[in-house]
Amino acid sequence: MVNVAVLGYGTVGSGVVEIINKNNALISKRVGKEIQVKYVLDLREFEGDPVQKILTHNFEDIKNDKDVQIVVETMGGLHPAYEFVKAALEEGKNVCTSNKALVEAYGPELIALAKEKNVNFLFEASVGGGIPIIRPLRDCLAPEEVLEISGILNGTTNYILTEMTDNGSKFDDVLKDAQDKGYAEKDPTADVCGHDAARKIAILTSLAYGKSVAFEDVYTEGITEISDKDIVYAKNLKKKIKITGTARKNGDKVSIHVNPVLLSKAHPLYNIDGVYNAIMVRGNMVDDVVFTGQGAGKLPTASAVVSDVIEAAKFIDSNINIEWSEEKLSLEAFDDTEWQYFVRVQGNASDLSDSIKATFGDVSFQDAGFNEEVAFVTPKIAENKFNELINSFKLINKIRLS
Ligand code: HSE
């Protein structure tokens, strides 16, 4: 018998209990041992819910119970999640978490502690919800030198951009809809400003290269500046606006950024719409592989957590090596990255065309029928050069091409 304790009976935690109970026979068969949820920790009462029978309000009950081999952390936030996870690992218990903030902030420390105690710290659900990406990156792609990871990593913003593109919906209306459907973070600025995606690409990049990237070091732009006019231009260009998180190897450095991009039809992420996420990994041997699925929501995310429970149960007496040290990964300055830019500036084509061409070179002008503005696509230039050149114009918005 393998006993599991679940910390936090919110959306994901209750999903974990539901999956372990509903699919118990097949999960136990696949593990080769019976699995049961012995405790659920939550401050609240759940009168009438069968979970009430196994509910505790005291973490010490779980920590001191030698029969609990696996602790699932689905509380979210850094504290007390960090203290509980650390204490569980110190007691020689395996930990499976969906908490990306915890993984991004304390990943290497908790991985090292799990190794020292010969148990596992697993976090499949921390990136991409129900999409298998952490274990494939760690195991299936272990023979590869990773050249690039690029993903649509946030369901809320992908849903907003899709609705704006397909149905002409207004940003604020779609955000409210995403919140009502439970996709958005408690504070949706983490979604719309790109911080949620920045945490996710920081985790994936740290795993791919074995060294740490802090999410604060990821260049991050959200989607708040994207307007319905940008969407019209994107359609004219036969492209879609998406927000992607990308890490790209460039010599001995890695450039890492989250920002809106214009994707052409040939791009593997072009057709990923709605709340769906997708992650493309380019290896130096396997070439491109793409993982896609629901990046948020109760059962998809809980399913990823239970996949960790199954792995921890199978490897109950041994540590699975995870390469992720505290050492900082060497990053390329965002200023040095090169892009083609779609640009809108204030003014009239008759006044500005010559100076735009003289400044940016071989541009392609775009006309979507809007007055008092000129739009164009630049050749490839470095970010710092673009910022210097655009100073002579009144910028309305710019979106990079990818
Ligand atoms: N708010 C996140 C999203 C949930 O919209 O993708 C999963 O991290």
- Using CA atoms in the order 381, 341, 216, 300, what is the torsion angle rounded to 10 degrees? -130
Q: Categorize the per-residue pLDDT at 58 as very low, low, confident or very high, splitting at 50, 70 and 90.
A: very high
Condensed to tens digits (0 to 9), the pLDDT of residues 31-50 reads 999 999 999 999 999 999 99
86 in active site? no
pLDDT at site 181: 82
Are 285 and 240 contained in the same domain?
Answer: yes
Helix axes 100-116, 195-209, angle to 10 degrees: 30
Pairwise CA distance, residues 350 & 343, whole Å: 17
How many angstroms separate the alpha carbon of residue 277 from the centre of ligand 1? 9
326 domain-assigned: no
Tokens of 82: 């960090």
pLDDT at site 386: 98
Ligand 1 nearest atom to the CA of residue 159, by list position: 5
CB atoms within 10 A of CB 197: 31
Examine the fold and report which residue of 263, 294, 325 is the final residue of a domain before the chain moves on: 294
How many angstroms separate the alpha carbon of residue 310 from the centre of ligand 1? 24
- Using CA atoms in the order 358, 363, 367, 371, what is the torsion angle rounded to 10 degrees? -30
How many angstroms separate the alpha carbon of residue 196 from the centre of ligand 1? 7
Average model confidence (pLDDT) across the chain: 97
Condensed to tens digits (0 to 9), the pLDDT of residues 238-294 reads 999 999 999 999 999 999 999 999 999 999 999 999 999 999 999 999 999 999 999
Percent of the chain surpassing pLDDT 70: 100
pLDDT at site 330: 98
Q: Find the catalytic residue in 38, 93, 100, 200.
A: 200
319 domain-assigned: no
Q: State which of 12, 123, 124, 154 you would mutate to test the pocket of ligand 1, scoring each by most atoms of that ligand within 8 A of its C-beta.
A: 154
Are 138 and 286 contained in the same domain?
Answer: yes
270 domain-assigned: yes
pLDDT at site 296: 84
pLDDT at site 355: 98
Q: Categorize the per-residue pLDDT at 178 as very low, low, confident or very high, splitting at 50, 70 and 90.
A: confident
Are 140 and 82 contained in the same domain?
Answer: no
Are 88 and 212 contained in the same domain?
Answer: no
Condensed to tens digits (0 to 9), the pLDDT of residues 139-176 reads 999 999 999 999 999 999 999 999 999 999 999 899 99
Q: Which domain holds residue 201?
A: 134-294
pLDDT at site 186: 75
pLDDT at site 116: 98
Are 101 and 147 contained in the same domain?
Answer: no
Are 43 and 154 contained in the same domain?
Answer: no
Backbone φ and ψ of 368, nearest 5°? -110, 15
CB atoms within 10 A of CB 401: 16
Are 29 and 100 contained in the same domain?
Answer: yes
Q: Categorize the per-residue pLDDT at 183 as very low, low, confident or very high, splitting at 50, 70 and 90.
A: confident
Q: Categorize the per-residue pLDDT at 383 as very low, low, confident or very high, splitting at 50, 70 and 90.
A: very high
Q: Work out how many domains the chain is built from and give that number.
A: 3
All residues at 6 or more sequence positions from 257 whose CB lies less than 8 Å from its CB, including other chains = 218, 219, 220, 245, 246, 334, 337
Q: Categorize the per-residue pLDDT at 179 as very low, low, confident or very high, splitting at 50, 70 and 90.
A: confident
Closest residue to atom 4 of ligand 1, CA basis: 296
277 domain-assigned: yes
The lowest-confidence range among 56-65, 176-185, 260-269 is 176-185
Q: Is 104 in the pocket of ligand 1 (CB under 6 A)?
A: no
Are 283 and 338 contained in the same domain?
Answer: no
Q: Is the pLDDT of residue 96 over 90?
A: yes
Q: Is the pLDDT of residue 364 over 80?
A: yes
Ligand 1 nearest atom to the CA of residue 277, by list position: 6
Closest residue to atom 8 of ligand 1, CA basis: 296
142 domain-assigned: yes
Are 79 and 176 contained in the same domain?
Answer: no
pLDDT at site 187: 84
Judge whether 301 and 313 are in contact, CB under 8 Å.
Answer: no
How many angstroms separate the alpha carbon of residue 257 from the centre of ligand 1? 18
Say which residue the tokens 């640009």 belong to: 343
Q: Is 184 in the pocket of ligand 1 (CB under 6 A)?
A: yes
pLDDT at site 101: 95
How many angstroms separate the alpha carbon of residue 184 from the centre of ligand 1? 6
Are 148 and 287 contained in the same domain?
Answer: yes
Q: Is the pLDDT of residue 301 over 90?
A: yes
pLDDT at site 201: 98
Judge whether 158 and 129 are in contact, CB under 8 Å.
Answer: no
Pairwise CA distance, residues 129 & 294, whole Å: 6
The dihedral region occupied by 112, where left means phi > 0, alpha psi between -120 and 50, and beta the remainder, is: alpha
Percent of the chain surpassing pLDDT 90: 95
**Stronger pLDDT, 317 or 5, i.e. the higher one:** 5
Say which residue the tokens 């940008």 belong to: 230
Condensed to tens digits (0 to 9), the pLDDT of residues 199-252 reads 999 999 999 999 999 999 999 999 999 999 999 999 999 999 999 999 999 999
Pairwise CA distance, residues 171 & 319, whole Å: 46
Ligand 1 nearest atom to the CA of residue 191, by list position: 1
For the domain that residue 11 is a member of, what is the CATH number?
A: 3.40.50.720
For the domain that residue 189 is a member of, what is the CATH number?
A: 3.30.360.10
Are 384 and 254 contained in the same domain?
Answer: no
